[in-house]
Structure 1
Amino acid sequence: MVGNLEYFKVFYYTAKLGSVTGAANELSLSQPAVSQSLKALEKSLGVTLFQRASRGVRLTGEGQILYSYVEKGYEEIERGVEKVRKMLNLELGEVHIGASDMTLRFYLLPFLEEFHERHPGIKVMVANAPTPETLKLLRAGTIDFGVVSTPFPREGDIRAEPVREIEDVFVAGRRFTSYKNKMLDLQELEKLPLIFLEGSTSTRAYMDAYLAENGVAVQPEFELSTSDMIVQFALRNLGIGCVVRDFATEALESGRLFELRFNKMIPKREFCVVTSRKSPLGAAAGKLLDIMGTDS
């Protein structure tokens, strides 16, 4: 067994400085306390570690062997302590985030830019994944926090803070101008060629549930992996796209696409910052959340 680690600390400084007095000054101990610790260590090991020298002390053969190992271990500890200090001072470290293309682009990216400018020594790693996958990563402890879109299961181990509203819209190009400026019933969607996201996203799950609640059953003409591609398909008149408004803002403002109007409003959703109640945040992740203005 190693025994009292404090003895090895005293041994390390005495050997490094070659002096009981020097070790006592370095450790803010009395000389008798240093000598007592060294004698206790020698007794526990059954060897003599130091010999008196003309100036201070010098290691015996056994002491030199022990010091070669203690030196490596103690200096590794010091390096570890220094790294922790730098992490607390945000001079180095890592932040692991989960975010979808949508939450990254329309919420998180400006904060990441500001954080990087303030703390260039911190490495930011983003796991690009839809909401369900981001929540799995958070529960597994793979990421520090995530930015997701509602809806998602509000389970007890997840803390969620809404940070921004988003709105789902149906957009179309010139082929469908007969629907422009008309107030439509949701049932009309059953007759139209629709372009939706694939089924593994919170956006698709939300729209499927909303339409089902209103007695609307749809069979999309296209199911795509990204909202940007939905906008491109709509611009080419391949159907009516269902996207979060942010993706279509430029095309809507330029008049290349228009928004379909319905006699029942589609409720708005939210971006949420999610953290785990089970895993404490590191200093770097906490600082990034401070910049984002969240309470998580």
Structure 2
Amino acid sequence: MFDSRQVRVFHEVVRAGSFAAAARNLGYTQPAISQQMKGLERAVGTPLFVRAGRGLRLTEAGEVLARHAAGILGAISTAQKQMTAITRLKAGQVRICAFPSANATLIPPALAALRARHPGIRVELLEGEPPGSIDSLRRGDCDVALAFTYEAESEQPQPDGLVTLELLHDPLVVLLPRAHPLARRRSVELAQLAEERWIAGCVRCRSHFVRCCAAAGFEPDIDFTTDDNLAVQSLVAAGTGIAMMPSMVQSFLRHPDIVSRPVTPADSRIVAAYTLASLNTVPATRLMLEALQSAADEISGSTRSKIPAPGI
């Protein structure tokens, strides 16, 4: 309806009592003040001032605008300060949805690094397994989603409309009780475990595990299913079965009575961060992605720099 410059000039005219006084205070010429007020009156569609002798008197519409002018200018100033703080990385917020083992490994160092450099950025942490975390991103419930796929699934189409940042490859290992006959092997062939009883993980992990076993020529005997990593290891330690688990979990949680061994044929899951293309240009989101990349490089011993540029 009208722009902030006109409202600012109007506010000063009302405060100073005349066009001439407002011009002196603002460093404008009096004709410039007159032009600004004519433009404002055209925008609102009614006069705001009437002459009263040598002075000015506000019309009814002018009285209404005068009551709100200070609030309008204050709101604009506050918005400008807040936006400046965000663009200068003194403030901002990022919502992340990640699966449990990422929350325990990637998120803590990434968050610590981000807060050390930009303490004004707030991070909200949510938990969710893929593909639910990707759905949360699409719904707008989070700004960054951490999810995983398996190497055997890598030829599947990538999520449409999302910016993808591959973070690391997380090898799968087999968990065995220390007394297991194969526990002393450096690696274990999956086909050698055809007669074992198994503890399976989350729905996505279980589906992938079953496909791996089928490729090795057998159908696994799954006794228990749980996505609680500590429960899986405790069940293996108790001798109730064996399990396949991403090695990332072993970096923060390792039961003393089990051993982990690489499994052949080798397999791993690909951990990646996802965001919307529109969010990829937001400074706080970009910084979170950079922090996640650095944390992943530290964990995997890599020095990749593959953060997609804004707009890609």
| TM-score normalised according to structure 2 size | 0.78
Aligned pairs, number: 289
Distance 1:25 1:211, change over 3 A: farther
Aligned AA (2:258): L
Counterparts of 1:12 and 1:266, CA distance in 2: 72
Which aligned pairs between 1:131-142 and structure 2 lie closer than 5 A? 131-142=130-141
Which aligned pairs between 1:1-296 and structure 2 lie closer than 5 A? 2=1, 6-18=5-17, 20=19, 23-24=22-23, 29-42=28-41, 45-49=45-49, 59=58, 62-151=61-150, 153-174=157-178, 176-182=179-185, 185-199=189-203, 201=204, 203-249=205-251, 256-260=257-261, 262=263, 264-293=264-293, 295-296=307-308
Residue 287 of structure 2 aligns to a residue whose secondary structure is: helix
Q: CA deviation at 1:110?
A: 0.0
Counterparts of 1:286 and 1:16, CA distance in 2: 45
Aligned AA (1:180): A
Distance 1:32 1:227, change over 3 A: same
Among all aligned residue pairs of Structure 1 and Structure 2, give the percentage whose two residues are the same amino acid: 20
> Which runs of 5 or more structure 2 residues have no equivalent in the other structure?
294-305
Q: Which moved more, 1:74-83 or 1:137-146?
A: 137-146
Counterparts of 1:12 and 1:66, CA distance in 2: 9
Counterparts of 1:71 and 1:120, CA distance in 2: 32
Contact 1:51 1:60 in 2 (8 A): no
Contact 1:170 1:260 in 2 (8 A): yes
Distance 1:139 1:261, change over 3 A: closer
Aligned AA (2:68): Y
Contact 1:231 1:248 in 2 (8 A): no
Give the equivalent residue in structure 1 for 2:302. none
Distance 1:248 1:37, change over 3 A: closer
| TM-score normalised according to structure 1 size | 0.82
Contact 1:235 1:257 in 2 (8 A): yes
Root-mean-square deviation (Å):
3.1
